[in-house]
Structures are given as structure tokens and as C-alpha cells.
Amino acid sequence: MDIGVLNDVFKEVFDDTSLTITRETTADNVDGWDSMTHILLISSIEEKFGIEFSQKEVIKFKTVGDLLDSINLKLP
Amino acid sequence: MPFTDLRFLLLFLPLTVGVYQLLPKRIRLWFVVLASLIYFWLNQPFYLCFFVVFILVNFGLGLLLQHVLQKKYFSQYIFWAALLFNLVLLFGLKFLVENSSEIPNLLVVNLVKSETLPAIWIFPLGISYLVFQVIAYLLDIKNEITSAEKNLLKFAGLLLFFPKSIAGPIQRYRDSVDELDFASGTIDRTAEGIRRFIRGLAKKVLIADVIAQFINPVFNQTELSVTTPQAWLVLIGYAIQLYYDFSGYTDMAIGLGETFGLRMVENFNWPYISKNVTEFWRRWHISLSSWFRDYIFIPLQFRFRKQKKYPIQVSILLIFLLTGIWHGLDWHYIAWGLMLGIIIGFEATKLGKSLQKVWQPLQHLWTIFWILLSWVLFRSPGMTFAANYYKALFGLQGEVIPLPFSQTIPFPVAENSVIIAYVAGIMFAVPLIPWLKSHINSEKISPLGIRILRDIGLGLILIYCLGLIAASGPMPGIYGQF
């Protein structure tokens, strides 16, 4: 899966159609990406791709790249 | 011995900083641990053994947890047992201290008056901060974010490190692991640390303590009697005092950390410029609020993420209830926490979020209004007092008997120093200096000239603060009681 698909989930969760993410993007670069929206983002990703994260994984994500790698590992 | 005690400022501090700088790097860790133990002993000799046992037990628990991490169920048992040990210790002590008839008022059970009270009834210094640091450490081991520390001295150094022993910040092991040999304190870092320390001292002595003398008579009344303008003036004063007291203390702690080569976490980020209460709480006592976020809020939200019926407000309310309880097992702290929880919970609703679209000054007004009202509960000695204070704020109080210090109604006559402290307090609560700095640098003024002027200024401020303390005695930090 490439980053574009993930970008769409971000746009939806953060309600911002102009939002562009890169592998290096962190919570600091995205308006409204806080602890509340983080879990919302995670559950949207889980729902969209039919995967599941563990809590350990979720608290270790630092960049969008980490998140993307983890998703790709889980996708068949 | 708070940081504003002359014995600390003129003896303990210069001695420890001086010796530290002279020592070779490999024995600096030993020295920091020894100095911290001496600091604890000077403050509360009774509790020295308690702290040593606390460190040893948690050091062992960390190693054990790490060892059994692969055995899923066993590691769970160990973790919960460790957590229980620390929580029982914290709340057991809080309960014991607050329900003891020996203690007239928790607010006076502080370092200044400690000589007059039996040692056992004084709350062990900074235990709330220590317990939270240890819980973070154990959870980080359990979640494999960090490994258990194998060097007892480093573990003790981090937990006992005297600059943060009174009022934090809650310094996590995972943020400090690279500097735990306490070897990297250079002359430059020491100079920067001392500058930060003096700024913190000035915040505490010149602003917080001056305002405290003006507003304390109102909060110390047994029957509140205050006019409405006075009530607002005093409440604004308390908002300034609390910020400068606690952030000044944090500045002093962080500055000292620098001088001993440990970078500590920031605790404040201009809270009073926030546009909503949620943001305020992200900028206020950051080491505590981020602790609750990372170790309670996120796990809770994660667990309930698939239950559409589980509103985020439940987690928020719980977090702030716990924040209240952390400050003390008293109804007014619990009510304070719940009040914040309700406002922040509201701000997370659709209607609450729409507030972010209104005219900005109104957003600031919204924030300041609720924060001020929340400080009433925080500062009041009890619920009845708080209720009467709210009545006074909105003009619902009965007849007002003037306080001895207030010559005129509605405004009391304040000394010039108090007026200056109010004005400076409000001025420096917004990022004026960072703004000036970013503008001055581009001008033609020589940076060296500015640095020399700044250091002369800081030296004068230090002397003035020392003079004030010598004249009136030290006042302990507000957050030392938690």
C-alpha cells in the first residue's frame, strides 16, 4: 500500500482535504493530531484495512513512516 | 530546605555545584547521589530510610519485571503487584497525613514549619512525584519502550536527584537514560543553568511571594468577607501567584538539572495564552498532564476504541478526577478536577469544538474565565469557603466586613511592590521576551553586549532576591505539598 491511501484516511479523520503527509510527518506537523484524534486515527485505519494494532505498537509510532510500515506488515 | 532558603542558596548550592565541577566525570554520579541523600537528610531525616527502601524495592521490581517479560501472565502479576505497592504507599501516606488530628492544616505542614511538628506527620518530600516516575518506569518496561536500569546508582540518581525532589518535574526514565551518569555538566551548561535558576528565583520571590502576602489574608479568613471587586482582584492575584510560584520553582529545578548535566522536561509552555481549557491543560504542569495522557488516557481510549457508545468524556472525566485526587484526598481538589473534566469534556463535543471558530479574544476570555473559577476550588481550604467565594465573585455575598489591611472599599490599598508584581506578572505571562529576542537579534545591537547586560541584570536580581529573603524569610513552594 502506498502513502496516498493512508493520506485519504488522514484527510477524513482530520477533516482537512488539503492535508498532505509524508513518511517523516509527525503529530507536531498536523493540526489537531493529539492524543484524542490519535486513537480515532488508529481505529479508522483498523476499520479501513481490516487490521488490528496492539497497544504496544500504537504508543511506539513516532512518524507516519512507522505507521505505514506497521500497516504494510499486517496487510496480506 | 526549599530553594529559596538562604542556607540552600548560600551554602548547599555553591558547595555542590563547585565540588561537582571539580570532580572527574567518573565519580560525578556518586557525588550527585550523595548530595541528594544529604539534601533529603537535611529536610526530613526521619524519611531517609524510607526513601532508600523505596528506591531499592522499585529497582528490584524493575529488574524482576524485565526478567519475566516473556512470561505473559507472570509478568502481569509482577506488574500489578509493583503498581499496587506504589499506589498503596502514596495514598496510604496521603490518607495518614491528611486525617491526622496532629495536623492543624495541611497548608502549614511545610518545610518552614517542619521543626514544630513531629517528623512522622510531615508528608515525605515529593513522594507523589516519585511514585509517578516509578509507575511510568514500570509501564515503559512492561510496554518494552525501555529496559530496566541495571545500575542501582543511576536509578537512585534519577529518582533522588535533589533539584526535582520538592516539586518535580516528573522526569521519566526513558527521557533521561542517556544522561544518568551525570557526567556531562559543562561550564557552559552550568552558566545557562544558573541563569535559568535566577530567573526562576525572581519569578518566585519578586512576583509570587509578593502577591502571596497580599492575597493570603483573604484566603486565611475563617469566614470569608470580601467585596466583589476584591474577590476578582485576589483571584487574579492567585492565578499569577500559582503560575509564578510553580513555574519559578520548575525553572530553578531545570536550571539546577543543567548544572549537573541532566536535561529535564519542561513543565510550562505559556499556559495563560491558551485559547481553550484543553489547550491550557496541555501547557500547564506538562509533566503531570502528559503522564496522565500517556499512561491512562491513551490506554483507556485504545481499549474502548471499538465501542461506539463509549464517549471520550468518560476518559476525560476520569483523568481529571485522578488529577484532583493526586493533589490531595480533599473534596475541594476532587471538585476542582471534576470541574476541569466537565469543561474539557464539553470542549471535546461538537458544540465545544465550534467554540474554536468564534472571535479569538472571546476564546481567550472563555479560557481565563473557567481557569480563574477553577482556581477558587483549588485554593480554598474547603468546599464551604469555595462556595462563599463564588458568591462573592458574583455579588451574592452578604454584608462585607473590611479586612484589616484594606483601608478602602472596594479596592484595598496595596503597596507599590504588589502593584508592580501584578503588572509584571501579567506582562511576563505572555511570551513577550521570546518575541523581543526574535526581533532584537536581527537589529544591529551586538549580541555580546546584550549578553553582558543580561548577566549583570541577573546578578543584580539575585542580590535583590537574597536581600528580600534575608529580610522576610523563605516561603516554601505551593507544589511542595503534593
More confident position, A76 or B466: B466
Nearest to A35 among B144, B145, B293 (CB): B293
Q: CA-to-CA distance for B75 and B68, rounded, in angstroms?
A: 5
Q: Indicate whether B121 belongs to any domain.
A: yes
Chain A residues with CB-CB distance to B302 below 8 A: 39, 42, 55, 58
In a 10 Å sphere around its CB, with 0-12 CB exposed, 13-18 middle and 19+ buried, how is residue B238 labelled? buried
**Which CA distances in Å does A45 have to A32, A38, B376?**
17, 11, 43
Q: CA-to-CA distance for B133 and B54, rounded, in angstroms?
A: 12
Query: Quick one: B111 and B198 in the same domain?
Result: no
Instruction: Report helix, strand or coil for B39.
Output: helix
Contact B143 A58 (CB under 8 A): no
- For Cα atoms B77, B47, B198, give the angle at the middle one, nearest 5 degrees: 105
Q: Indicate whether B27 belongs to any domain.
A: yes
**Which CA distances in Å does B46 have to B12, B42, B118, B204, B413?**
20, 10, 10, 28, 44
Query: How many residue contacts between A and B have a Cβ separation below 8 Å?
Result: 32
Query: Quick one: B87 and B209 in the same domain?
Result: no
Query: Quick one: B300 and B402 in the same domain?
Result: yes
As for how many domains chain B has, the answer is 2
Query: Quick one: B89 and B208 in the same domain?
Result: no
Query: Quick one: B356 and B449 in the same domain?
Result: yes
DSSP chain A: --HHHHHHHHHHHTT-TT----TT--GGGSTT-SHHHHHHHHHHHHHHHT----HHHHHH--SHHHHHHHHHHH--
Contact A42 B348 (CB under 8 A): no
* Domain final position from B167, B183, B199: B183
Question: What pLDDT score does B139 carry?
Answer: 92
* Domain final position from B128, B158, B183: B183
Residue A43, min C-alpha distance to chain B (Å): 6
Q: CA-to-CA distance for A19 and A7, rounded, in angstroms?
A: 8
Query: Quick one: B323 and B434 in the same domain?
Result: yes
Q: Indicate whether B390 belongs to any domain.
A: yes
**Which CA distances in Å does B75 have to A73, B67, B294, B480?**
27, 9, 21, 34
Q: Are A9 and A44 in contact (CB under 8 A)?
A: yes
Query: Quick one: B277 and B405 in the same domain?
Result: yes
Q: Indicate whether B5 belongs to any domain.
A: no
Query: Quick one: B179 and B194 in the same domain?
Result: no
Closest residue in A to B144 (Cα–Cα): A56
Q: Indicate whether B385 belongs to any domain.
A: yes
Q: Is the ipTM of this complex over 0.95?
A: no
Q: Indicate whether B4 belongs to any domain.
A: no
Does the beta carbon of B308 lie under 8 angstroms from any beta carbon of chain A? no
Query: Quick one: B104 and B198 in the same domain?
Result: no
Q: CA-to-CA distance for A20 and B449, rounded, in angstroms?
A: 44
Question: What pLDDT score does B113 carry?
Answer: 38
**How confident is the model over A18-75, as pLDDT tens digits?**
888 888 888 888 887 888 888 888 888 888 888 888 888 888 888 888 888 888 888 8
Question: What pLDDT score does B405 carry?
Answer: 54
Query: Quick one: B194 and B175 in the same domain?
Result: no
pTM for the model? 0.86
Q: Indicate whether B2 belongs to any domain.
A: no
Query: Quick one: B210 and B258 in the same domain?
Result: yes
The H-or-E segment that residue B159 falls in is helix B152-160
* pLDDT of chain B, 482 residues: tens digit per residue: 788 888 888 899 999 999 999 999 889 999 999 999 999 888 877 778 888 889 999 999 999 999 888 887 888 888 899 999 998 888 887 777 666 544 444 433 443 334 444 444 456 778 888 999 999 999 999 988 899 999 999 999 999 999 998 888 999 999 998 888 888 878 889 999 999 999 999 999 999 988 988 888 888 888 888 888 888 999 999 999 999 999 999 999 999 999 999 999 999 999 999 999 999 999 999 999 999 998 999 888 888 888 877 788 888 999 999 999 888 878 999 999 999 999 999 998 889 888 888 999 999 999 999 999 999 999 998 899 999 999 999 988 777 666 655 544 445 556 788 888 899 999 999 988 888 777 766 556 667 777 888 889 999 999 988 888 888 777 777 776 66
Residues 6+ positions from A63 with CB-CB distance below 8 Å: A23, A24, A25, A26
Residues 6+ positions from B357 with CB-CB distance below 8 Å: none
Q: Are B271 and B280 in contact (CB under 8 A)?
A: yes
Nearest to B306 among A43, A55, A60 (CB): A43
* Domain final position from B135, B157, B183: B183
The three three-digit cell numbers of residue B347, written as one number: 470542549
Query: Quick one: B374 and B460 in the same domain?
Result: yes
In a 10 Å sphere around its CB, with 0-12 CB exposed, 13-18 middle and 19+ buried, how is residue B322 labelled? middle
Q: Which range marks the domain in which residue B418 is found?
A: 190-481
- Give residue B192's identity as a one-letter amino acid code: E
Q: Indicate whether B148 belongs to any domain.
A: yes
The three three-digit cell numbers of residue B424, written as one number: 509584571
DSSP B51-73: HHHHHHHHHHHHHHHHHTTTSHH
Which of B301, B303, B309, B347 best tests the A interface by mutation, with the highest count of A CBs <10 A?
A: B301
Question: What pLDDT score does B402 carry?
Answer: 60
